[in-house]
Amino acid sequence: MIATHYTYWIIFGLMMIGLYAVMSHGNLVKKLIGLNVFQVAVFMFFISLGRVDDGSPPIITEGIDVYSHPLPHVLILTAIVVGVATTSVGVAIAIRIYEAYGTVEEDTALARDAADEGAE
């Protein structure tokens, strides 16, 4: 069990480290970096599902019979580029929040909102 499944377990560990960073940190940029770690770990999980023992990359060549499955590769290849595009939307929002509040710390920004409501 350990020999065949430890890859998955480490990948789950990586995913949850990313999730932990998203949940526990108040800094928006740090949250995005954590989200990136989470995302990359999900990619690894998909790719590891497509692997086959003694296989080759799925580029058909004479004399090779065993190939890893191309479908996870296709899905993840596009997901990586989509991932960076959506991350940059997040980065843009964080920058706008910084310009409006002078901080990217969630707690400080929320406290400022609460203070504004109290003043009205």
- Sites for other proteins among residues 53-92 (CB under 8 A): 53, 55-61, 66-74, 76-89, 91-92
Of 11-40, which residues contact other proteins (CB under 8 A)? 11-21, 23-27, 29-30, 32-34, 36-37, 40
How far, in Å, CA of 5 to CA of 105, rounded? 39
In the complex with other proteins, the residue whose CB is nearer, 2 or 119, is 2
Q: What is the dihedral of CA 89, 91, 94, 99, to 10 degrees?
A: -100
What minimum distance in Å lies between the beta carbon of 108 and other proteins?
A: 8
Give the Cα separation of 83 and 78 in Å (integer): 8
109 binds other proteins per the rule CB under 8 A: no
